[in-house]
Amino acid sequence: MAGLNDNAEFIQEFLVESTENLDQLDRDLIALEQAPADEDRLASIFRTVHTIKGNSGFFGFSKLGALTHSGEHLLGKLRDGKLSLDDRVTGSLYSMVDAVRSILQSIEATGSEGDQDFRDLAQTLTAVAAGEAAAVAAKPKAPAPESAEKPPSAVPTPSPSVVPAAEAPRPPEKADEKSSEQPTAGRSATESTIRVDVGLVASILDLVGELVLARNQLRSIDSVDPAMQAVVQRINAVTNALQETAVKTRLQPIEQVFSKFPRTVRDLAVACGKEVHLVIDGVDTELDRTLIESIRDPLTHLVRNAVDHGIEPPAVREAAGKPRAGTLSLRAFNESGQVTIEVQDDGGGIPVEAARAKAVAKGLVAADVAATLPDEQVLQFIFAPGFSTAAAVTAVSGRGVGMDVVKTNIEAIGGTVDLQSVAGAGTTIRVRVPLTLAIMPALIVRSGSERLAIPQAAVSELVPLRPDRDGARIEGLEGAAVIRLRGRLVPVVFLDEFLGLRDRTACRDEGTVVVVRVDDHEFGIVVDGLRTAGGGSVVAATAEVASLTTIVVKPIGSLLAQAGIYAGASVLGDGRVVLILDLRGLVRAAELPPVKQPLETSAAGGATASTRDEDRYLVCRTAAGRRIAMPLAVVRRLENVPANDLQSVGAKRVVRRGDAFTPVVDADGLLGSAPALPTDTVHLVVLGEGAGGVGLAVRQILDVEVAESPLQPGLASCGVLGSLSLGGIATEVIDLAAARAVNQP
């Protein structure tokens, strides 16, 4: 039994090693194509294939053995100079790498080599080796290695007619004596690294975190004993160093992602009929292993886009006075605690006018606004869902996964995507991601008696509330509070109220607004104050740096993660647990509206402030889910009433305020749908006398919005005056006459 387990373990090791070797093989083959005379490279390829062959024999994987044997035979011919490298040879070698990879995947998934038959491929490999060898023999003047670039007749798979019948594939059992003499040394990396289980690394990090806390407690103990002080000092230093080192164990070079790209680019370029020169820089840049996985797909997409849409066909390039081959450059480097990855091509760039037209056509922006937009802002539309400027959907890109997905995926790990494009000169996309998700800078805020962490990457600014001066203050109605930020209205969430920590009362005008951006949302989180990790309070809200702390993110388990409000937790220096806010969850839970196109708001600028009152509407959602609005001017006040406080007077319901009764009408009832009053708290929009002074019961008060279109009376229906666009969404405006009618006897 132990033997079986051992074998499984060896096979696992074999799979991991072979997969790595295949990546290396891809790189080597591409390098060899560019420099066919590189004997070291050829030797390396030969060794790799030989190693896989040897191992597959050891584990009894006969298909793999047969295939790699044929490949090795071909490589042997190449190495001995009996064959020169051309498209046929490289094509068949690439096919072999793919086949080996697919067999390995099958072994990993099912434990067996799978049903696929690779004998044809093995035959092809042998034929290529033999056929070419014959041709070379016939022509004493062997073509120079540089000839690899050309022949138009060359096809990756040779037609069967070129296979000389006499040259049957050799049985794989027959080992190649020559190759067995080949030394398999030369992989320095494997000698200086070890494989460690990820779980082990995680537990080391946990223990180090624990040590840090114990160290903090130790430091807080007063001791006059100099020997003790010295020891504490040393433990302090060692702990710091240990923490730094332990974090590094999670990091892996970005090469793991980049290594696939030479092959991807080559295959794509062939498929698109383009010539692409790939330049890769900074493969040693390190990144958390979980992030490596997360950036793999977005980066692949960017690379595909660059080859498919960015770089022009050779003829077009030549006509434009550019070199035939386009250059795609991938660069990774560390920059201020983040990792930046640049995907740059020297292609045609993004056609700005096409993007502009598309944006208008898609209804993302009004035509007149679009015409005045600067090019950089038009380019941002590329990140809108379903947006593509490519005229034709090609087989390579345009498969529904667009730049919006790239952006979403990168932002999901706390990163950003920037795009620059110069028509005719190319496009640069800059992806910035944090080094690790396990540790992140966060802002520790205080709300009531609680402390919470807000990921710093999302924080755009801190605005102190100063009711006494000209500073920011909370405006707007209850449930739809906003602050003005350079002419923009930014919705705010009161953290204490949101978390149910306490009823918000007088403290409305004090505290700090933490303005955050997440996806398409910008909103403010009103907190009591900012705290340093140590617990000291930050007096000046402008002290951005003072309350920024690097925290170790810990999972809180599925029980709490499902609530969607917390992204995790962390332990502060004093040992207290602090919850990390999940800002996307907050957006969902608080039902915050997305920002109108940023361009629109900035273009509007001061216009927001000067908007006439009659253009402002209060937007609500009814219990039945309808989005309704009423002119802000007719709204007298907003109330939250416990459902129990509603009293029946005849057929009507009223709520008593002092001596006065406010008639209550369910908004859905007014609109002719079935009333569905909530059972706990009723949100009332109490209208002015002009509208009968009734209280309109709604499920939720959403926001105050400025009308973006004239009222469309054509869309009127029962209780509805018409529709208009508020916050980019068509909204029904209630008919005040209908509300007034409710209060008539």
Partner 1 sequence: MNASAERVQQACAFMVADHCFAIDADLVTEVLHGGSLSPVPLAPESIVGLLHLRGRIVPVIDMRRRLGFAALSPSAVRTHLVLRQQDERYSLLVDEVLDVHDFPAERIEQPAKAVGPATDAVSGVFPGPAGLVHFLDPQRIVQSLVRQRTAPFIRHGASHGG
Distance from CA of residue 499 to its chain's centroid?
28
| Residues 450-489, interacting with partner 1 (CB under 8 A) | 450
Residue closer to partner 1, measured from CB, 185 or 559: 559
CB of 499 to partner 1, least distance (A): 4
Which of 210, 318, 475, 510 contacts partner 1 by CB under 8 A?
210
Distance, in Å, from the CA atom of 606 to the CA atom of 586, rounded to the nearest integer, reads: 29
Angle at 231 between CA 228 and CA 233, to 5 degrees: 110
| Residues 494-523, interacting with partner 1 (CB under 8 A) | 499-501
Specify whether the CB–CB gap between 703 and 491 falls below 8 A.
Answer: yes
CB of 401 to partner 1, least distance (A): 31
From start to end of 472-556, where are the E strands? 482-485, 488-494, 512-518, 521-527, 529-531, 537-538, 548-552
Annotate each residue in 413-452 with x if it binds partner 1 (CB under 8 A) or - if it does not, as one string.
-------------------------------------x--
Query: Bridge partners of 482?
Result: 475, 491
| CA dist 738 → 654, 698, 733 (Å) | 17, 16, 12
CB of 624 to partner 1, least distance (A): 21
Residue closer to partner 1, measured from CB, 339 or 442: 442
**Does 591 participate in binding partner 1 (rule CB under 8 A)?**
no
**If DSSP states are collapsed to H, E and C, what string results for 580-594?**
EECHHHHHHHCCCCC
**If DSSP states are collapsed to H, E and C, what string results for 21-52?**
HHHHHHHHHHHHHHCCCCHHHHHHHHHHHHHH
Distance, in Å, from the CA atom of 665 to the CA atom of 548, rounded to the nearest integer, reads: 49
Pairing of strands 660-666, 695-698: parallel
CB of 549 to partner 1, least distance (A): 17
CB of 500 to partner 1, least distance (A): 6
- Contact stretch for partner 1 (CB under 8 A) within 56-64, 126-134, 305-313, 556-564: 556-564
**Does 535 participate in binding partner 1 (rule CB under 8 A)?**
no
Which of 562, 610, 648, 744 contacts partner 1 by CB under 8 A?
562
For 432, the 3-state DSSP assignment is strand
| CA dist 175 → 129, 200, 544 (Å) | 17, 41, 68
Specify whether the CB–CB gap between 481 and 492 falls below 8 A.
Answer: yes
Q: Which two tokens stand for residue 713?
A: 């009376």
- Contact stretch for partner 1 (CB under 8 A) within 82-90, 230-238, 407-415, 570-578: 570-578
- Contact stretch for partner 1 (CB under 8 A) within 63-71, 278-286, 571-579, 692-700: 571-579
Residue closer to partner 1, measured from CB, 548 or 556: 556
CB of 699 to partner 1, least distance (A): 16
| Residues 340-399, interacting with partner 1 (CB under 8 A) | none
CB of 577 to partner 1, least distance (A): 4
Distance from CA of residue 237 to its chain's centroid?
36
CB of 114 to partner 1, least distance (A): 31
CB of 315 to partner 1, least distance (A): 57
Query: Bridge partners of 635?
Result: 687
Specify whether the CB–CB gap between 645 and 712 falls below 8 A.
Answer: no
Residue closer to partner 1, measured from CB, 246 or 676: 246
**Does 247 participate in binding partner 1 (rule CB under 8 A)?**
no
- Spatial neighbors of 12 by CB under 8 A, at least 6 apart, are none
Give the amino acid at 507.
C
- Contact stretch for partner 1 (CB under 8 A) within 26-34, 201-209, 270-278, 342-350: 201-209
CB of 15 to partner 1, least distance (A): 24
For 410, the 3-state DSSP assignment is helix
Residue closer to partner 1, measured from CB, 144 or 577: 577
Which of 178, 576, 588, 656 contacts partner 1 by CB under 8 A?
576
Residue with tokens 């605690």: 337
Residue closer to partner 1, measured from CB, 11 or 571: 571
**Does 579 participate in binding partner 1 (rule CB under 8 A)?**
yes
- Contact stretch for partner 1 (CB under 8 A) within 281-289, 360-368, 558-566, 641-649: 558-566
Residue closer to partner 1, measured from CB, 404 or 645: 645
**Does 569 participate in binding partner 1 (rule CB under 8 A)?**
yes
**Does 566 participate in binding partner 1 (rule CB under 8 A)?**
yes
Within 221-319, where are the H helices?
226-249, 255-258, 261-272, 289-305, 314-319
Which of 36, 76, 172, 209 contacts partner 1 by CB under 8 A?
209
**Count of beta carbons in the 10 Å neighbourhood of residue 718:** 10
**Does 242 participate in binding partner 1 (rule CB under 8 A)?**
no
Specify whether the CB–CB gap between 269 and 306 falls below 8 A.
Answer: no
Q: Which two tokens stand for residue 450?
A: 């609680």
**Does 565 participate in binding partner 1 (rule CB under 8 A)?**
yes
Residue closer to partner 1, measured from CB, 378 or 553: 553
Which of 81, 557, 605, 625 contacts partner 1 by CB under 8 A?
557
- Contact stretch for partner 1 (CB under 8 A) within 215-223, 249-257, 569-577, 662-670: 569-577
Residue closer to partner 1, measured from CB, 578 or 704: 578
Residue closer to partner 1, measured from CB, 498 or 661: 498
**Does 162 participate in binding partner 1 (rule CB under 8 A)?**
no
Distance, in Å, from the CA atom of 611 to the CA atom of 226, rounded to the nearest integer, reads: 70
Q: Which two tokens stand for residue 476?
A: 């707007």
Strand order in the sheet with 521-527: 459-464, 512-518, 521-527, 488-494, 482-485
Distance, in Å, from the CA atom of 520 to the CA atom of 588, rounded to the nearest integer, reads: 12
**Does 9 participate in binding partner 1 (rule CB under 8 A)?**
no
Of the candidates 450, 459, 449, 604, the residue with the CA atom closest to the CA atom of residue 524 = 459
CB of 81 to partner 1, least distance (A): 56
**Does 218 participate in binding partner 1 (rule CB under 8 A)?**
no
Size of the site for partner 1 (CB under 8 A): 28
**Does 554 participate in binding partner 1 (rule CB under 8 A)?**
yes
**If DSSP states are collapsed to H, E and C, what string results for 86-143?**
CHHHHHHHHHHHHHHHHHHHHHHHHCCCCCCCCHHHHHHHHHHHHHHHHHHHHCCCCC
Q: Looking at residue 310, what DSSP letter applies?
A: I
Of the candidates 545, 513, 550, 516, the residue with the CA atom closest to the CA atom of residue 533 = 550
- Spatial neighbors of 591 by CB under 8 A, at least 6 apart, are 700, 702
Residues shown for the chain: 745
CB of 235 to partner 1, least distance (A): 17
Residue closer to partner 1, measured from CB, 188 or 449: 449
CB of 161 to partner 1, least distance (A): 59
CB of 56 to partner 1, least distance (A): 34
| Residues 662-681, interacting with partner 1 (CB under 8 A) | 680
Task: Measure CA of the first residue to CA of the last residue in the chain; give whole Å.
Answer: 89
Which of 161, 558, 648, 744 contacts partner 1 by CB under 8 A?
558
Binding site for partner 1 (CB under 8 A): 206-207, 209-210, 450, 499-501, 554-560, 562-563, 565-566, 568-569, 571, 575-579, 680
